[in-house]
Structure formats: C-alpha cells, structure tokens
Structure 1
Amino acid sequence: MANQGVSNERKRELTQMDPFQESISRSVEWVLAHKKLLMISAGALVGVVVVFSAILFSFKQSEVKASELAAKAYEKYEEHYSQDRDARKGYDAVKDDFQTLFDEYPNTSAGRMALINFGNICFEAKDYDHAFDLYSRALSSMGDKAGVKNFLLCTLGTICELKNDPEQGKSYYLRVEEGPSNLLKDDARFALALIYEKLNDADASRRMYEKIAESQGTSMYKAIAQARISAQ
C-alpha cells in the first residue's frame, strides 16, 4: 500500500490558525495587555452602580418621609378644623408642618402636591397672598399637566379678583381660554365675560358669552350666557 503520510505543505497548513482562532488569540492578548485598565474600568462601573443605587434609595426614602409628613399634616388640619369648622384655626395648626415639608422635601411628589393642598388650606383661611405664592410655585413645577395647569390658572385668576386686580386675573383666565385643553374653559370664559363687563368692554364680554353658548356638551354657564346675550 502506498505511503499515506501527510505532506510538508499540509503540515504547515495544519499548524496555522484559522481566522476565528486568530481573532480569539488577539482578544486574549489585548485583555492581558490592558488588564489593569480593564480592572479600573470595571471598578468605576461598579462605583457608578453603587452611587446610582444609593441615590435611588435616598429618593425613595425621601418620598416615604415626605408622604408621612404630608399625611400627618392633613390629619392635624382635619382634627383642628372639624372642631368648629374654623379654617383659620386649622391653617394655624399646620402651617409650620407644611413649611418643614417644603424646606426638607421640595423635590418629592408629596412635596409638590402639598403646594396645591396647602394652597387650598390657605385659600379657605383667606390668606390669599400665601395661597397665591403656593399655587404659583405649583404651576412652575406641575404645570405641564393640562388638568392641573388649568385648575391652577383659574384659581390664580380668582385670587387676583379677590385682591381687586382684575387685569392680572384676566391674564390667567386667558391662558386657559386660549389653551388646548377644554377642562375649565367655560369657567375661564365666564370669569372673563364678567371681568370685561366690569371694564366696560361689552364686545369682548359678549364674545365670551357666545363661546360658552356655542360650546359642545353641557355647561352650568350656558343658560346664563344665553340669557346675557339675549339681554344685550
């Protein structure tokens, strides 16, 4: 039988690595050469994860503490208010608690919601300056939500009217009337119609009443608006 031995050329081919093997080999060599750098990078990544986890935990703890403070403040207000339905007494009992909440946890969800809720308490207690400040801060931090935004704008307009500043009140109502959301739009239009009447601008007042009368759906102001239009 003829000699089936492997030729020298074939032996050289067998001793050579294929492309995949070469790639693995180069990767191993690179890792060995940059082992220190990789260890530093890995350590940095672990550090980032630890710091991020700590920040996330801190945020969660802040939210929990803020929620607890807010809940206790609301309970205290109800306790004092319910005794003789005195809004001022309830306000005096909790104003420091809410201020602590705003000072220590201003960037929490509970802290931002407390701006509105304590604003309502101030409004009921007729502390309109304090209420205006709180609603304005809430508008800056939560005004991207249409429902909240329109509520705050209408409330700010109402406070301006109570403080005998209809021009400034008009500016807040107009932001609702000209905005994309229909929520509280007829409320703003009715308030604007009354302001225009006080300012002796009959045409502008009539336009607001007409918009209310022509609006879709049911509105508590529609019958009044129609009556005002007929009377003009």
Structure 2
Amino acid sequence: MAGNKNRKQLLKEPDQFISFSTKMMNYIIKHKIAVLSSTGIVFALIIIISGIRYFSIQEENKSFALMEKALARYETLEKEKGPEKAFEETQKDFQSIIDQYASRGGGRAARIAFANIAFQAKNFDKAVDLYKKALEDLSDDSSLKNMILSSLGYSYEGKNDYENAEKYFNMIVKGKDSLLKDDAVFNLGRIYAKMEKQDKSMEFYKKLVDEYPESMYIDMINEKISDS
C-alpha cells in the first residue's frame, strides 16, 4: 500500500517506471522493424475481419439483387412466351446464382424461386430436386418447412407418384407447425381418392370437417360428404 511506504521508496518508484519505459523504448527502437511488422499484422487482421464482414453483407446484397433481376426477367418472359419457355430461357440465370451463392440467403431464395418456376413449367423432376435441396437448408422449426413439404407433395402428384405425394403431405399433418395443415389434410383426401382408397379418403375429409371448421375447403367437403 502507498500509505505504508517511506519517502525513499516513493521517490524510487518513478525512477523504476522511467527505467522500465526507457528499456521498452530502447527495445522498440532496436527492434522497430519487427515491432512495426507485428503491429502491421494486428491491423491487417482487423482490416481483414472487418473486410470479411463487409464483404459478407455485400455478397448477401449481391445475391438477392441477382435473384430479383432473374425473377424480373422470368416474369417478363412468362407473360410473353408462357411458363415453359420462360423456364428454359432463365434456368441458366438461376442455376448460376444457386451455384455461386449456395450458402447465401439470395442463393437459397433463388433455389426456392427456381423450384416454383420449374413446377409452373411442369418440369416436376427438376422441381422435386430443387425443393429437396431447399428442404436441407431449413431448420426443423423453420416457418418455410411446411411450404416446401407441401410443394414436394404437389410436385410428386404432378409426376403421378401418389405414394411420395402422400408421404410429404403426411409429414405436414404429423408435424408440430399448424401452417398449411388443413391444406395437407384436404390434399391427403384427394390423394387417397386417386389411389382408389376411398375409405381413407373419406377419413381425411371428415377429419378436415371435425378439426378445421374454418378451412376454405369446408363447404366443398361438406357437399362431397353429403353426396357420398
């Protein structure tokens, strides 16, 4: 403690500090190249880290900008030539974004957008492939998960692969998220009818009436049940 030190010790402490500072300065002067190099490395690391962060933001922005541009081009072509031709003429644009920005938000969004475009063009094989890869990008609690599962169900139905369509619609029904659950119940009723499983089809139609009385499909299903 300073209060317990005598005058001689107190006078000696500044000399020790000056001596240490002098030694430190002499060391820096003597080894200035090495010290400046070390300092330069530290500053370079700071610049690189900051640059990576900035670059990351820039890359995200760029990926979304390219996706928006590709979508705008698709929409124009779709109006002029229809979904099939628009798909053919924009697939390189979307694939380039997906390949280059696979880990970026824009790249993942482009994959979903391109899957929708493939579906509209009735290229169901391509749609299935893209939707499955999009599903891998999502966490289990993602709000988009049921939308992708539903899209896979519709895509497999487009391929007349009703067993796989049933599989993906059932994943929604059995999941925790309520989004599109009534749609999935309705779609399972349709799919089982196409599979000529009429009892199973009616089971899901009745499930819709009992559990989702506010569903947009309710009037249609009530009419179907009453006619059966």
TM-score after normalising by structure 1: 0.76
* Mapping for residues 54-203 of structure 1, pairs under 5 Å: 54-84=51-81, 86-144=82-140, 146-203=142-199
CA RMSD of aligned residues (A): 3.4
Answer with 132-141 or 202-211: which moved more. Answer: 202-211
Counting matched residue pairs gives 214
**Contact 1:213/1:223 (<8 A) preserved:** no
5+ unaligned residues in a row in structure 1: which ranges? 1-9
Task: Name which one, 1 or 2, has greater alpha-carbon Rg.
Answer: 1
Counterpart CA distance in 2 for 1:157 and 1:16 is 85
The alpha-carbon distance between structure 1 residues 83 and 56, as it changes in their structure 2 partners (threshold 3 A), is same
The alpha-carbon distance between structure 1 residues 152 and 223, as it changes in their structure 2 partners (threshold 3 A), is same
Amino acid at match of 1:103: D
Amino acid at match of 1:83: E
The alpha-carbon distance between structure 1 residues 98 and 11, as it changes in their structure 2 partners (threshold 3 A), is closer
The alpha-carbon distance between structure 1 residues 12 and 54, as it changes in their structure 2 partners (threshold 3 A), is closer
**Contact 2:186/2:205 (<8 A) preserved:** yes
Counterpart CA distance in 1 for 2:207 and 2:171 is 15
Q: Deviations over 1:145-183 (max 9, x none)?
A: 543111111110111111111111111011110111211
Amino acid at match of 1:105: Y
The alpha-carbon distance between structure 1 residues 198 and 89, as it changes in their structure 2 partners (threshold 3 A), is closer
Counterpart CA distance in 1 for 2:4 and 2:147 is 85
1:195, CA displacement in angstroms? 2.3
Counterpart CA distance in 2 for 1:39 and 1:202 is 81
Q: Deviations over 1:57-110 (max 9, x none)?
A: 2212222322232122122212222224x1112112211111111121111111
Counterpart CA distance in 1 for 2:83 and 2:199 is 40
Q: Which residue of 2 aligns with 1:205?
A: 201
The alpha-carbon distance between structure 1 residues 88 and 39, as it changes in their structure 2 partners (threshold 3 A), is same
Counterpart CA distance in 1 for 2:156 and 2:93 is 27
Counterpart CA distance in 2 for 1:11 and 1:204 is 92
Matched, 1:51 2:48: yes
- The percentage of aligned residue pairs carrying the same residue is 33
5+ unaligned residues in a row in structure 2: which ranges? none
Counterpart CA distance in 2 for 1:142 and 1:11 is 66
TM-score after normalising by structure 2: 0.77
